[in-house]
Structure formats: structure tokens, C-alpha cells
Amino acid sequence: MSSIRIFILSTLEEHGPLHGHRIRSLARQDRTETWTDIKAGSIYAALKRMQAEDLIELVKSEKEGNRPERSVYAITEEGREALGIDLRDALAQVEWRTDPFDLALARAHNQDPEVVRVFVQMRRDEFEQKARSLEQQSKLADPYLTEAERVVMRHLLGRARAELAWHEQLLELLPGIVRDWKARKSP
């Protein structure tokens, strides 16, 4: 199951036959990169893969003015079935990704504590910026969002805020962590 496959198949199911550039434009318009792991530049390769898998089909080629010829794709019956399966799998799947930072922090006892503090502060600042950005995007996009999309934005914002709060707590706990590291080194 892949996010890009769900995006392309659901877009074709919702909008009907489209060329890759239009699908890419819809991804940008939808700000898909903000709330998924989809990169707009990967759409064309995914279209070729899905065509080879008979999930989509080439329905025509069109040419407008001086623009290059564009291939227009439509979802197939196999694509509709795959989309249904992928949506159910994605809804049922709990994705829990580990963060390499956790291992690095647990093993950083030989590092300069000030360097560790600086990196924690940088991460904290990045999560604060992410939360602010999501808040702003959510406010701007709200009139155009479906209720499901609003819930998704709240979920993303909640995750960013939780990371921010955790990093703020870590900064407070860091002196005790450093004391523990020093005590470990003592014979």
C-alpha cells in the first residue's frame, strides 16, 4: 500500500480521466506534500507503474498549442478494486515509526553535553516552526477543506505540538541526563 497510489487512484476516481500534469497540479493545490509522504515529482513514475499493473489505462493523448503531448489516464476496474483494498488497509494500519534521535540520545553519553543541548534546541525550534506553519495553513485552507481534511490537519497539528512539548520537557530534563552520563563514566 502506498500513499501515492491511493492519491492517484482516488483522484482519477473522483475527477475522471486526467493527464499527469493535472494530477500533479491537484496534488499541489491540495497541499498533499504537507500531510502525506507524497512528492509531486514522483507522480509520473507512479503513473507508469500503475499502468503496467493495469490499475490505470491510457485513454488518449492530447496536445495543446506548443505544449508537449500529454497522456490522459483513467482508473480501471482493477484500479477501483485496488483502491478499495488500499483504503481499507491504510485505515486499519497503525504506523509507528521510530525516531533515530531516541537512540542517539540514549547513546550520546560520550558527546559534549552542550552540543547535545544545541541539537535538542534546534529540533525543538523546528517543531515549533512546523506547528506554526500547520496552524497558518489550517487557517488559510479551512474554508476549502472537507470535515475529514480538517480532522487530518488537527491530527498533524496535534502531533507537531506533542513533539514540541516533549522537546521542551527534554530541555528541562537535560541537566539530569548529563549528570547521569557523568555518573556512568565515574569508576
Q: In whole angstroms, give the CA distance from residue 157 to residue 34.
A: 11
- Specify the number of domains making up the chain: 2
Cβ atoms within 10 Å of 83's Cβ, excluding its own = 19
C-alpha cell at 74: 483513467
Using the 3D structure, point to which of 38, 58, 92 is the last residue of a domain.
Answer: 92
Residue-wise pLDDT for 51-86, tens only, equals 999 999 999 988 888 888 899 999 999 999 999 999
Cα separation, 145 vs 57, in Å, equals 30
Q: Is 99 left (phi over 0), alpha (psi -120 to 50) or beta?
A: beta
Over residues 149-173, mean pLDDT = 95
pLDDT at residue 1, as a whole number: 62
Q: Which comes out higher in pLDDT, residue 185 or 122? A: 122
Q: Which amino acid is at 22?
A: R
Do 86 and 42 lie in one domain? The reply is yes
Instruction: Give the end of a domain, one of 66, 92, 118.
Output: 92
- C-alpha to C-alpha distance for 173 and 123, rounded to whole angstroms: 15
Please determine, for residue 36, whether its predicted confidence score (pLDDT) is greater than 90: no
Burial class (CB in 10 A: 0-12, 13-18, 19+), 75: buried
CATH number, domain with residue 72: 1.10.10.10
**What is the pLDDT, as a whole number, of residue 112?**
94
71, 131: one domain: no
113, 57: one domain: no
Cα 27 to the chain's mean position, in Å? 12
Its domain, for residue 181, covers 100-185
Question: Is there a single domain that holds both residue 86 and residue 109?
Answer: no
- Give dist(CA 135, CA 127) in Å, integer: 12
